[in-house]
Structures are given as C-alpha cells and as structure tokens.
Amino acid sequence: MTTCSAPGKVYLFGEHAVVYGEPAVPCAIERRARVTVEPREDGRVRVDAADLSLDGFTVTWGESIDDRPDIDVPAPLVEAAMEYIEAAVAQARDAAGAPDAGFDIAVESAIPLGAGLGSSAAVVVAGIDAATRALGTELDAEAVARRAYRAEHEVQDGQASRADTYCSAMGGAVRVEGEDTRTIDAPALPFVVGYDGGAGDTGELVAGVRALREEHEFAADTVETVGDLTREGERLLGDADPDSEPDDALLADLGELMEFNHGLLSALGVSARSLDAMVWAAREAGARGAKLTGAGGGGCIVALDPDPGSQRALEFSTECEQAFRAELATEGVRVEEP
C-alpha cells in the first residue's frame, strides 16, 4: 500500500491567458489530495473517492468507464472525476510497463472539486506517483508533472495547460509559459481564499474565451495584457527576499496587479456575481488585492492579506460558503504514511 499527496494551488496571475502561450504564476497551497494505492491481480480498478463530492462515491471498473456507475451524485461530476483517475492510472501503467495492472485506489481531498484550486491536478499528480511507486517504479517530480499534464490534456480535449499539474508536482511558486516550466523563489505570501460553494465548467469557460478572442481584437489584446501584468508580477517576486516576510510595499504592488487581473478576466466573461462580491468584500476589508482564481464562473477567489480582516469579511459575506487562510506549500508531491 502506497500513499502520496499533492497540493492544490491558487493563481497569483495568468489563468486563461496561459492557454494561449502567455505566462502564468500559480502558487501551491497547503490544501492536499491524498491518494492511496494497492495493486490487485485481476486487472480491475476500484476507486473509493469519499471526498471528491458532497456524498462521495465508490466505483469499480475494468479497462474503461464506459459503463457509468449508478450512484447518487451528479453524473457530470462523477464522469469528470473518474476520467481524471482513469487517465492517471493509464499513465502509471505506462510508466511502470504494466499495462494490465489493477489497483484499489482511495482518494481523500481537502480541495473542493471544480472550485479553481487545482483539485483534479492534485489527484492526478498524487495518483500517478502513488500508483507507479506501488508497482515498483519511482519517478522524480518533473517526470510526474509531465505525465500528469498528459493525463489532463487528454481529459480536457487538448485545452489543458501545464500550470496546474506542474505547480502541484513541484510545490511553491512556479512560472509556466507554453512548454517552459520552472520554479521561482517567492516569499510566504499571506493568501486568504473565499469559496462560494459552486464550480464553473472549465471547458465551457475556456471555449467562451476562445470564441471571444477569435471574434474581437480587443479580447485578444486583453489576453496579451494579462500576460504583460504576469511578467510584471514575476519581476516583483524576483526582487523580493524569499526568506523574509513580504513587506507592505510588495503586497500593495502585487495586490494592484491582482485587481487588474480580475478586471481583465471579468471583461473576458469568466467571473461571476458571487466571485465579484467576494472580491469586493475582501478589498473593502483591507486586502491588498483580490481576484478570482482558476477557470471562474464560480468557485474561489484569492486575496492577499496579512491581517484577519478579509477572512472575517468573507465569512460574513452571503456569497461565501467557506473562507480560510492558505499557506504557501513549499513541498509538492510527496510520499505519506498510509
């Protein structure tokens, strides 16, 4: 039995624009998915995913999930979750040279599914690492990231970026621009996350931005502007001391860029009333900056605030179901005690 975990993430800058080759800076946070894997000899895969939805689910399948499970959770949620797990299994089988390997898989996650915090990437990263180790093959974090990206790319019909999976595998802050992926030094930024209890449809939102970008030149310019502000944010992080607490000037400058980023994402049609309300609640309570994180349409916002004000304001906001402080996860995928 092998257990691995991987962190979720927030986007400091760059979601959606990263799909078009612009840079993005996601940061891993200490909200983790844990995947426990035990090989089985009959080639079947049994998944116990108690935390991937409100009710959780358990399902067993053979070589495919064409026979959909008859369980009491929304079908699209189950199908999406199982497709990611199946893709992770395929990558682990390929890496270990064991195409017929079967597994018992248990998934536990503190990351809301579909909320923009990288839940699918964390499950895929932890799943690949745990399954390959269970088969006697150890991959380094870079190799896990590459295989996890292939899995997400397959499930998302070629629309995935490397940002989520690379960040989850490597931990800390990372920079992704096309195929160029690297870790970057960053201080321990004071993240506060607000969650509206919902989830956007990533595929529909990405397709919507694509259509807008193809129809209107201003939308293409907006995407490029997101890339420009991301480069400025990366420069600010590069000038900071990663071993010291971020000072007020750095937080103010990063926060201003975050607010620009949120406005540009709103212009691209990927925000939501609940997200805008949480962003304003955090800002008015003293956050240095706040923006949606992830695909949008619902889910989460991230704020920079070393003080308790924005978290408290979010907790009292009618649009916010949950608010929490999120530390930067300096460690990516790792082996855990079962």
pLDDT digit string (tens) for 222-258? 999 999 999 999 999 999 998 899 999 999 999 999 9
Q: Are 18 and 165 in the same domain?
A: yes
The catalytic residue among 51, 67, 72, 164 is 164
Task: CATH number of the domain at 161, please.
Answer: 3.30.230.10
Parallel/antiparallel/unpaired status of strands 45-49 and 102-109: parallel
Task: State mean pLDDT over 82-101.
Answer: 92
Q: Tell me what pLDDT residue 51 has.
A: 60
Q: For this structure, is 164 an active site residue?
A: yes
164 and 68 both lie in a single domain: yes
- Report how far apart, in Å, the C-alpha atoms of 35 and of each of 16, 43, 103, 117, 224 are: 28, 19, 12, 17, 37
Same structural domain, 100 and 160: yes
| H helix intervals, 216-267 | 217-239, 248-267
Query: Cα separation of 227 and 238, whole Å?
Result: 16
Task: Name the more confident of 160 and 25.
Answer: 25
Q: What is the pLDDT of residues 52-66, one digit of tens each?
A: 543 444 444 444 444
The domain in which residue 297 lies consists of: 191-326
Domain C-terminal end among 130, 161, 185: 185
For residue 266, what are the β-bridge partners?
A: none
List b or e across 82-108, with b for residues whose CB sees 16 or more CB atoms inside 10 angstroms. Answer: bbbbbbbbbbbbebbebeebbbbbbbb
* Same domain flag for 93 and 207: no
Is 246 part of a structural domain of the chain? yes
List the beta bridge partners of residue 270.
none
> What is the H or E stretch that residue 119 is in?
helix 119-134
Whether 305 maps to a domain, the answer reads yes
Instruction: State the pTM of this model.
Output: 0.88
